[in-house]
Structure formats: structure tokens, C-alpha cells
């Protein structure tokens, strides 16, 4: 899945003003879940062949499940100290840049050169730290999403077989990045799969304050707010 995780992480982790790093790329793609694929393949082989076409937003199904919301919220809280650390590093760089801008013409050549060197060194250290933090956050997101997908894929395949679906398309990525140009809500099974998964997982719905705003980008199923990249998964075939 390659969606840009509305994902639960702190956007500031990836958008610090002093860091010129691309936000989400194809490298953010969620790795396939082999065990889910194998299980789904064996289930599909035994399932009756239907002729109906359905769609599912795998990203919404994973992040909208009770388990997904719980685990990504926990991950967000876990990464808060790193966000604070990066903000402090960024503030230090910005402070030095301001000092150079306001006092640079008053400094000696050696003092100015030393300040420029400090800025360059701290800027590079910040960029490395942000990239490392992004990679770590993405890996942990992928681990959660893959684990949920492994358990969700057989549910999707069973539902398809029980309801005479011949094909189910993933709509996580809009066309032309994804394969589906348009599909109506009547063929979407996302909510049904999420509801079924929630029942089987036994994970209760997360409690939300009455005034809590709806997560940005949420569709038929709720998606927790997250980092700047979006995971994309393809259900096991």
C-alpha cells in the first residue's frame, strides 16, 4: 500500500522548516505480507468463483479498524519525545541563522566563518536526525499495518467467496496512481470488512472526546491522523 499515512505520526517530525527533505515517496510503500498472501491464496483457491466486482480502501480498513487506531495512536505518543528533540535541534539552527543575519557584518572574519561552520554542521546533523526519525517511524508504521493486514486478508477473501465476488480492487490510491478510475459506494466493502475485523479482533472502539474533530482525510471509515506519508497495501491475492 502506498498511501500517505494520515497516519498517526507527528507532522512536525517531517516538516521542520530548516530541513529540505522530500516528504513521502515510493520508498514509503508498505511491504507485502507474505503469510497473509499465502493464507489468502489457499482460501481463494477453495472459494467459489463469482462474477461481482467490489472495491475496498485497504488503507482506510487498516487505519480505521479499532486495532489500527489504538496502535497508531500509541505509536504517535511513543514518538513525541523524538519530535521534541528534533524541534529543539531545529530551534538551535534557526537561532544561529538569525544571529548570522543580524550580527554577521559586525563579526570578525574568523568569528563569522566559525558561525557559518557551526550552522552547516548543525544543519547536517539535523537533516540526518530527521531522516533517521522518518525511517524509524515509517518502519514502525509498516510493521503495524502489515500485522493487521495479515489478519485482515483472509477476512476479505472469505467475504468475497461467500458473496460471489469475482474481483475486489484496492482504492487506497486515486487514479491514475491506482487502478480504479471511478467506483460507486454500492460496491465498496470497506466498512463491512472493518466491522467484521473489529468483531473478530475483540479490540474495543477507541474513546473519543465529544468535541473531537474528524481526522483529516477520513472516508467511510475513520482514519487516525498521522505523518506525512501514506501507506498503500494491496490485499493478498
Closest residue by Cα to residue 75 from 22, 172, 147, 18: 147
Quick: pLDDT tens for 58-72.
999 999 999 999 999
Q: Which is higher by pLDDT, 137 or 216?
A: 137
pLDDT (0 to 100) of residue 39: 46
Task: Please measure the distance between the N-terminal and C-terminal CA atoms of the chain and give it in whole angstroms.
Answer: 14
Model confidence at 227: pLDDT above 70: no
Distance from the Cα of residue 137 to its chain's centroid: 9
Q: Which is higher by pLDDT, 29 or 187?
A: 187
Place of cell 487505519: 63
Handedness of CA 198, 201, 204, 210 (dihedral sign): negative
pLDDT (0 to 100) of residue 49: 66
Quick: pLDDT tens for 139-160.
999 999 999 999 999 999 999 9
pLDDT (0 to 100) of residue 106: 86
Closest residue by Cα to residue 130 from 4, 12, 43, 1: 12
pTM above 0.85, yes or no: no
3-state secondary structure the chain: CCCECCCCCCHHHCCCCCCCCCCCCHHHCCCCCHHHHHHHHHHHHHCCCCCEEEEECHHHHHHHCHHHHHHHHHHHHHCHHHHHHHHHHHHHHHHHHHHHHHHHHHCCHHHHHHHHHHHHHHHHHHHHHHHHHHHHHHHHHHHHHHHHHHHHHHHHHHHHHHCCEEEEEECCCCCCCCCCCCCCHHHECHHHHHHHHHHHHCCCCCCCCCCCCCCCCCCCCCCCCCCCCECCCCCCC
Quick: pLDDT tens for 161-180.
999 999 999 999 999 998 99
162: its cell numbers: 461467500
Q: Where are the domains of the chain?
A: 11-201
229: its cell numbers: 506519508
Classify burial at 194, counting beta carbons within 10 Å of its beta carbon; exposed 0-12, middle 13-18, buried 19 or more: buried
Closest residue by Cα to residue 146 from 44, 226, 34: 34
Q: Which is higher by pLDDT, 225 or 110?
A: 110
d(CA 148, CA 60): 12
22: its cell numbers: 522530500
Question: What residues pair up with 52 in beta bridges, in sequence order?
Answer: 165
pLDDT (0 to 100) of residue 22: 30
Amino acid at each position: 500500500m502506498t498511501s500517505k499515512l494520515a497516519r498517526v505520526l507527528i507532522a512536525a517530525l517531517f516538516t521542520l522548516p530548516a530541513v529540505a527533505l522530500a516528504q513521502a515517496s515510493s520508498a514509503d510503500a508498505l511491504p507485502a505480507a507474505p503469510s497473509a498472501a499465502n493464507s489468502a491464496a489457499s482460501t481463494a483457491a477453495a472459494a467459489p468463483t463469482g462474477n461481482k466486482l467490489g472495491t475496498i480502501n485497504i488503507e482506510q480498513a487498516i487505519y480505521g479498524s479499532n486495532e489500527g487506531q489504538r496502535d497508531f495512536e500509541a505509536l504517535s505518543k511513543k514518538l513525541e519525545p523524538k519530535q521534541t528533540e528534533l524541534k529543539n535541534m531545529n530551534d538551535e539552527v534557526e537561532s544561529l541563522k538569525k544571529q548570522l543575519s543580524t550580527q554577521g557584518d559586525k563579526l570578525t572574519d574568523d568569528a563569522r566563518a566559525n558561525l557559518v561552520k557551526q550552522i552547516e554542521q548543525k544543519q547536517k546533523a539535523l537533516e540526518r536526525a530527521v531522516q533517521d526519525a522518518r525511517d524509524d517511524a515509517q518502519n514502525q508504521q509498516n510493521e503495524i499495518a502489515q500485522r493487521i493486514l495479515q489478519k485482515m486478508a483472509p477476512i476479505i477473501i472469505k467475504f468475497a467467496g461467500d458473496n460471489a465476488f469475482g474481483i475486489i480492487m484496492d482504492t487506497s490510491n486515486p487514479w491514475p496512481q491506482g487502478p480504479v478510475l471511478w467506483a460507486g459506494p454500492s460496491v465498496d466493502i470497506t466498512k463491512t470488512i472493518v466491522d467484521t475485523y473489529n468483531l473478530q479482533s475483540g479490540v474495543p472502539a477507541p474513546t473519543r472526546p465529544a468535541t473531537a474533530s474528524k481526522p483529516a482525510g477520513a472516508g467511510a471509515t475513520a482514519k487516525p491522523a498521522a505523518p506525512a506519508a501514506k501507506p498503500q497495501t494491496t490485499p493478498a491475492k
